[in-house]
């Protein structure tokens, strides 16, 4: 139940007028905005129709489109080693930050690389927090200054049903995120979006626009509540289902089928007894067909067995879907006055019989004929069927509170549900893919991925979650959600973690990973001789957090000149921002490399220099303040040869000759060492 607040304002003349207008002409007021064209239409004044098109539009749509396209300046991801688990070997990522910003930061690295995206966004139930997106062009501080975040820099805002742009706010949040999500998907990738009836229509319409209506796969209807167990009797309807919209990126997607048992013979329950000789033999389609009138045969029911027959009604697609259907439609359907007649047609069908019986309807009340088929000779034991778009998960949703070993009652999704979606995405056969959840909440998706990988898979997850301040959320929450937030805060106190939502996600991943490991090790200890032990999947994760840039991207001063003095005397101050560290600089450089995953290894090449780093055995980032001949000689011996060398511009002190000489030397040495004449590496500077 909502408790409308006393409005802050005394007069809202415009608002009142709009309400009056809406009572008279509902179509002229959309989401609190007056649609003048629609009002004119109500008054019979139709505009030219050249602008009419099928689309959903709302206040701010243009901005939302622009937002998806804006670059994210001066922001980066800092690596948080202390929060990470097994960082040296893991390829999973947990990223703390606003997901639009994170999606943009990851866009270079993961463009067209994600096989599956699952998101469980706010459903816009009237009390959700939606993201305030005015961060893209400036840092957090300036947002606060501009008043787009609150004084603690919290970018969330509560979207209440009473607000004028209730739907628009939500759509403005979803649109740019979905647009970038599509960029990240592989061509055969799939996206799953959980939603309830509040916004399903609007969501589907924008998904149709972003992904293309032709790429819509289905709406999963998920039963999550029992019909009769209801606490709020004052509702018009009890919502027992919610939905999951599924879209593919494009035509490369392969349809996933489930395998069903095909051994049952329970439908084979008929036998035909020919009581007397047929009434006549006629020629149909070059076959000698025996015709029995209704008194010359019996169609008896019997126990299911291999030699019995199944009665198949010839209707719908079956009329031309197989040879029996076609024979009936071509030769028997047009014969009249033969109600209940049986036709015995030789050489048709793939069963043990060398004939097939067809039977005409018993009276003119019935339209369709039938045929009797035996068990197919080459029938396989299994058959492929499409997955249904209905899931009964009442029990799973009832028990979800106990999953993950963390206290988070606000819309956790059951692991079994996510495992099912992973199956639908077809990742059973893709053991190396990358999957993403950018509204990851308590990180159920990460746990599900670890569980899915118990089949020996090396699939990687990326979980993104805004570090929501739970104390702040508690202040703003309504009475229904306060208890769940309080419970999470108490839980975080018990494990001595700050009251931030992402702490719950990380803790869940740590705990569930350990649990999976213990379970596998316990099972391996019980193995019998000859049984293969199960490998413990990747249960680690690297943590990154959005932050302001570490790099001073522009080395020129206000006069357009390089500050060579600073370069020489305080090079770190000239190149990097206060409080930077080398590792974060390297990752910031890596965020600008196309299709390079952030989960690769980063090592310090101590035999070359204390500030020379090698990322993923392929990117050499040299942050040394001085480039010596000895250093270049060592770099040239690296095997394998890095595909890119990154140096600091300041290390060359604006000396173009030194640069020329250095890179000529590097090139010559590499040619000599590798025997390669074609230059296979690039050099960049920061």
Span from 74-82, 120-128, 411-419, 593-601 in contact with another protein (CB under 8 A)? 593-601
d(CA 487, CA 506): 17
Span from 52-60, 408-416, 591-599, 659-667 in contact with another protein (CB under 8 A)? 591-599
d(CA 436, CA 40): 46
Q: How far is the CB of 632 from another protein (least distance, A)?
A: 17
Site string for another protein, 135-174 (x = CB under 8 A): ----------------------------------------
Q: Which of 139, 368, 577, 600 binds another protein (CB under 8 A)?
A: 600
What the block records as the tokens of 399 is 């028990």
383 contacts 260 by C-beta, under 8 angstroms = yes
What are the start-end ranges of the E strands in 64-210?
75-85, 93-96, 114-119, 129-131, 156-158, 185-195
Number of amino acids touching another protein (CB under 8 A): 22
Q: How far is the CB of 345 from another protein (least distance, A)?
A: 47
Between 53 and 678, CB nearer to another protein: 678
Q: How far is the CB of 429 from another protein (least distance, A)?
A: 20
What the block records as the tokens of 507 is 């803790």
Q: Which of 157, 444, 593, 612 binds another protein (CB under 8 A)?
A: 593
Q: How far is the CB of 534 from another protein (least distance, A)?
A: 24
Between 27 and 680, CB nearer to another protein: 680
| Beta bridge pairs of residue 117 | 191, 436
d(CA 308, CA 318): 21
Between 364 and 607, CB nearer to another protein: 607
Q: For the stretch 514-549, what's the b/e string if a residue is b when 16 or more beta carbons lie within 10 angstroms of its beta carbon?
A: ebbeeebeeeeeeeeeeeeeeebbbbbbbbbbbbeb
Between 212 and 616, CB nearer to another protein: 616
Span from 199-207, 381-389, 458-466, 592-600 in contact with another protein (CB under 8 A)? 592-600
Span from 33-41, 541-549, 556-564, 590-598 in contact with another protein (CB under 8 A)? 590-598
Between 573 and 643, CB nearer to another protein: 643
Q: How far is the CB of 630 from another protein (least distance, A)?
A: 18
Identify residues 604-643 at the interface with another protein (CB under 8 A): 616-619, 637, 639-640, 642-643
Ramachandran region, residue 212 (left: φ > 0; alpha: ψ -120 to 50; beta: rest)? left
> If residue 249 lies in a helix (H) or strand (E), which one and from where to where?
none
Q: Which of 594, 629, 658, 660 binds another protein (CB under 8 A)?
A: 594
Q: How far is the CB of 112 from another protein (least distance, A)?
A: 10
Task: Answer positive or negative: Cα dihedral of 47, 48, 54, 55.
Answer: negative
Identify residues 243-262 at the interface with another protein (CB under 8 A): none
Pick the closest to residue 456 from 527, 540, 536, 528 (CA basis).
Answer: 536
Between 567 and 589, CB nearer to another protein: 589
Q: For the stretch 581-609, what's the b/e string if a residue is b when 16 or more beta carbons lie within 10 angstroms of its beta carbon?
A: ebbbbbbbbbbebeebbbbeebeebeebb
Angle between helices 629-636 and 656-674 (to 10 degrees): 30
d(CA 684, CA 101): 25
Q: How far is the CB of 77 from another protein (least distance, A)?
A: 18
Between 113 and 144, CB nearer to another protein: 113
Residues in the chain: 686
Between 353 and 619, CB nearer to another protein: 619
**Is 562 a residue that touches another protein (CB under 8 A)?**
no
Burial of 56 (0-12, 13-18, 19+ CB in 10 A): middle
Between 207 and 620, CB nearer to another protein: 620
Between 155 and 457, CB nearer to another protein: 457
Bond prior to 640 in cis (omega within 30° of 0): yes
| Beta bridge pairs of residue 646 | 621, 684
d(CA 254, CA 424): 10
Start-to-end CA span in the chain (Å)? 56
Site string for another protein, 71-110 (x = CB under 8 A): ----------------------------------------
Q: How far is the CB of 588 from another protein (least distance, A)?
A: 17
What the block records as the tokens of 670 is 């590499």
What are the start-end ranges of the E strands in 86-212?
93-96, 114-119, 129-131, 156-158, 185-195
Q: How far is the CB of 334 from another protein (least distance, A)?
A: 57
Between 421 and 590, CB nearer to another protein: 590
Between 113 and 312, CB nearer to another protein: 113
| Beta bridge pairs of residue 140 | none
Site string for another protein, 36-65 (x = CB under 8 A): ------------------------------
d(CA 579, CA 573): 10
Span from 68-76, 320-328, 566-574, 587-595 in contact with another protein (CB under 8 A)? 587-595
Q: How far is the CB of 660 from another protein (least distance, A)?
A: 25
Between 470 and 636, CB nearer to another protein: 636
Q: Which of 597, 604, 661, 669 binds another protein (CB under 8 A)?
A: 597
Q: Which of 56, 113, 269, 312 binds another protein (CB under 8 A)?
A: 113
Pick the closest to residue 242 from 438, 436, 397 (CA basis).
Answer: 397
Identify residues 652-681 at the interface with another protein (CB under 8 A): 673-676, 678, 680
Point out which residues bind another protein (CB under 8 A): 113, 593-597, 600, 616-619, 637, 639-640, 642-643, 673-676, 678, 680
């Amino acid at each position: 139940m909502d408790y409308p607040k006393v409005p802050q304002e005394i007069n809202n003349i415009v608002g009142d007028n709009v309400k009056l207008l809406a009572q008279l002409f509902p179509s002229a007021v959309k989401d609190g905005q007056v649609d003048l064209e629609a009002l004119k239409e109500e008054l019979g004044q139709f505009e030219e129709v050249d602008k009419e098109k099928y689309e959903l539009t709302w206040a701010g749509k243009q901005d939302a489109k622009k937002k998806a396209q804006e670059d994210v300046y001066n922001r980066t991801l800092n690596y948080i080693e202390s929060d990470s688990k097994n960082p040296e070997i893991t390829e999973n990522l947990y990223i703390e930050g606003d997901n639009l910003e994170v999606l943009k930061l990851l866009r270079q690295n993961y463009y067209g690389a994600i096989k599956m995206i699952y998101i469980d966004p706010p459903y816009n139930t009237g009390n959700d927090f939606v993201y305030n997106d005015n961060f893209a062009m400036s840092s957090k501080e300036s947002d606060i200054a501009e008043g787009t975040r609150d004084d603690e820099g919290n970018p969330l805002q509560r979207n209440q049903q009473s607000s004028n742009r209730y739907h628009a706010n939500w759509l403005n949040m979803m649109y740019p995120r979905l647009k970038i999500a599509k960029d990240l998907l592989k061509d055969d990738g799939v996206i799953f979006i959980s939603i309830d009836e509040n916004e399903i229509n609007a969501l589907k319409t924008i998904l149709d626009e972003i992904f293309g209506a032709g790429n819509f796969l289905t709406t999963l209807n998920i039963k999550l509540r029992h019909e009769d167990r209801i606490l709020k009797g004052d509702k018009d309807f009890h919502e027992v289902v919610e939905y999951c919209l599924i879209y593919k990126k494009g035509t490369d997607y392969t349809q996933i089928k489930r395998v069903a048992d095909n051994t049952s013979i329970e439908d084979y329950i008929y036998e035909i007894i020919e009581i007397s000789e047929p009434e006549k033999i006629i020629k149909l389609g070059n076959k000698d067909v025996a015709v029995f009138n209704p008194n010359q045969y019996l169609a008896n029911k019997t126990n299911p067995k291999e030699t019995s027959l199944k009665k198949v009604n010839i209707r719908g697609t079956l009329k031309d879907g197989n040879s029996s259907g076609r024979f009936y439609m071509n030769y028997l359907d047009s014969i009249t006055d033969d109600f209940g007649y049986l036709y015995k047609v030789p050489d048709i069908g793939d069963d043990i019989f060398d004939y097939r019986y067809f039977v005409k309807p018993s009276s003119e009340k019935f339209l369709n004929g039938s045929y009797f088929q035996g068990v197919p000779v080459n029938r396989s034991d299994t058959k492929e069927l499409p997955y249904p778009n209905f899931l009964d998960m009442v029990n799973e949703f009832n028990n979800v509170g106990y999953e993950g070993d963390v206290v988070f009652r606000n819309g956790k999704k059951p692991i079994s549900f996510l495992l099912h979606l992973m199956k639908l995405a077809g990742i059973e056969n893709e053991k190396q893919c990358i999957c993403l959840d950018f509204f990851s909440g308590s990180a159920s998706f990460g746990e599900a991925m670890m569980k899915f990988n118990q089949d020996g898979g090396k699939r990687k997850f990326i979980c993104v979650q805004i570090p929501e301040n739970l104390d702040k959320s508690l202040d703003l929450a309504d009475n229904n959600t306060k208890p769940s937030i309080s419970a999470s805060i108490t839980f975080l106190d018990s494990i001595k973690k700050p009251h931030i939502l992402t702490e719950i996600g990380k803790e869940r991943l740590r705990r569930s990973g350990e649990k999976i490991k213990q379970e596998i090790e316990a099972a391996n200890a019980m193995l019998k001789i000859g049984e293969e032990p199960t490998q413990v999947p990747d249960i680690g994760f690297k943590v990154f957090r959005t932050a302001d840039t570490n790099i001073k991207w522009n080395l020129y001063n206000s006069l357009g000149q390089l500050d060579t003095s600073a370069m020489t005397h305080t090079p770190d101050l000239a190149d990097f921002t206060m409080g930077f560290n080398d590792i974060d600089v390297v990752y910031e450089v890596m965020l600008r490399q196309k299709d390079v995953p952030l989960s690769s290894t980063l090592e310090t090449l101590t035999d070359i220099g204390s500030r020379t780093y090698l990322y993923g055995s392929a990117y050499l980032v040299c942050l040394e303040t001085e480039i010596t001949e000895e250093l270049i000689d060592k770099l040239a011996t690296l095997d394998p040869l890095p595909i890119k060398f990154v140096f600091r511009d300041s290390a060359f002190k604006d000396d173009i000759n030194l640069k020329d000489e250095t890179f000529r030397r590097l090139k010559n040495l590499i040619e000599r060492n590798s025997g390669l004449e074609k230059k296979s590496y690039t050099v960049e500077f920061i």
